[in-house]
Amino acid sequence: MKEELFTDLVASVREGGEILRGKTKPSRAFKITAPNIKRIRAGYKLSQNEFAALLGISVATLRNWEQGRRAPQGPARILLQVAARYPDVVWSIVKPIK
């Protein structure tokens, strides 16, 4: 590794340590908010039971998300983002084939 790149890497690691210890503020921060599941479900005009079945999750999981006791993580979060942005696609996937 070139000396200049190594020096940059060491400086970056040190800066990260200072940020973690609270000695330095990060140059930028990202805030990711949870999707509004109630609003998404309202857009589909479905009951909790129907929306849970549409997404292939349990009603208890959906209730926990809607009531803020839990937040969707990983693939479930992505699925909800797709459901919010592309409802026609979701309907075309889950609709029975004739």
For residue 97, the model assigns a pLDDT of 63
pLDDT digit string (tens) for 46-59? 999 999 999 999 99
The DSSP secondary structure of the chain, one letter per residue, reads --HHHHHHHHHHHHHHHHHHHTSS--S-----PPP-HHHHHHHHT--HHHHHHHHT--HHHHHHHHTTSS---HHHHHHHHHHHH-HHHHHHHHSPP-
Domain ranges of the chain: 1-31, 37-94
Q: In which band, very low, low, confident or very high, does the pLDDT at 21 lie, cut at 50, 70 and 90?
A: very high
pLDDT digit string (tens) for 25-46? 988 888 777 789 999 999 999 9
For residue 96, the model assigns a pLDDT of 67
Class of domain 37-94: mainly alpha
Claim: this prediction has a pTM higher than 0.75: no
